[in-house]
Amino acid sequence: MPQIIQGYRVTVKPSDTTAESTYVADVVAAGAGATTIHYPTLYRSIAISVAIKNQDGANPCTFSINGQPAITLSSGADQNINNQNIVSVQVTPGAAGTTDLLAQVTPMYLSTEQARFSRDRG
pTM, full prediction: 0.83
Structural domain contains residue 29: yes
What per-residue confidence (pLDDT) applies to 28?
Answer: 97
User: Domain count of the chain?
Assistant: 1
Structural domain contains residue 48: yes
* β-pairing verdict for 35-38 and 88-92: antiparallel
pLDDT tens for the chain, residues 1 to 122:
567 777 777 777 777 777 788 999 999 999 999 999 999 999 989 999 999 999 999 999 999 999 999 999 999 999 999 999 999 999 999 999 999 999 999 987 665 555 655 655 55
Structural domain contains residue 69: yes
Range of the domain at 99: 18-107
82, β-bridge pairs: 49
Structural domain contains residue 117: no
Structural domain contains residue 50: yes
Q: How far apart are CA 80 and CA 96, in angstroms?
A: 22
What per-residue confidence (pLDDT) applies to 42?
Answer: 94
Q: Which helix (H) or strand (E) holds 3?
A: strand 3-5
Q: How far apart are CA 74 and CA 66, in angstroms?
A: 21
Q: What is the CATH number of the domain that holds 75?
A: 2.60.120.10
What per-residue confidence (pLDDT) applies to 1?
Answer: 59
Structural domain contains residue 46: yes
